[in-house]
Amino acid sequence: MIRNVLSHIHNRPGLFIIALLLIELTIIGTGIAQRRAANTRRADRVGELFRNNCARCHGADGRGKTPTGELFKAPDFTDADWWQQNAKITSTRSLAGIVSRGKGGMPAFGKKLKRSDITALVNHMRRFRPAK
């Protein structure tokens, strides 16, 4: 059947071009759908990592308003002033180092989590930062 369609289209250049475009759009659409699904799985994984390792102190909303967060003075990541006052330590590299080695009452996660997971967590946490 496909061979018949192709031979029919091949004799008509306009239809041939349209068929090629439709095939290309189908391939592109499939790739986009696969990337979206992978991004969703990645976001779900990072959310789970945050809930399991960070939210106990920093809260699901990043405000640090949990009993443990208040005990250990966890920062409010939604506070623009905190970001400004701590500008020297808010680069991705610095924050990843803090997550890896710990700081104050915060435990070190460097032996528990992979470096890529720590970077993903830092990027997730940076989303709490208010827009300028």
DSSP per position, 86-119: TGGG-SHHHHHHHHHH-BTTBPP-TTTS-HHHHH
pTM (two decimals): 0.69
Across the range 6-26, mean pLDDT stands at 65
Reply yes or no on whether the pLDDT at 20 is more than 90: no
More confident residue, 10 or 40: 40
Across the range 30-38, mean pLDDT stands at 66
Instruction: Identify the pLDDT of residue 11.
Output: 64
Residues 76, 64: contact at Cβ < 8 Å? yes
More confident residue, 45 or 5: 45
Q: Which two tokens stand for residue 74?
A: 């966890």
Work out the percent of the chain whose per-residue pLDDT is above 70.
Answer: 71
Reply yes or no on whether the pLDDT at 64 is more than 90: yes
Q: Which two tokens stand for residue 41?
A: 């799985």
DSSP state of 22: H
Reply yes or no on whether the pLDDT at 14 is more than 80: no
Reply yes or no on whether the pLDDT at 113 is more than 70: yes
Cβ neighbourhood burial of 25 (10 Å; 0-12, 13-18, 19+): exposed
* Per-residue CA distances from 78 to 22, 59, 65, 87, 88 (Å): 46, 11, 11, 14, 17
Instruction: Identify the pLDDT of residue 67.
Output: 97
More confident residue, 71 or 4: 71
* Rounded Cα–Cα distance for residues 32 and 57 (Å): 37
User: Quick one: how far is CA 26 from the chain centroid?
Assistant: 27
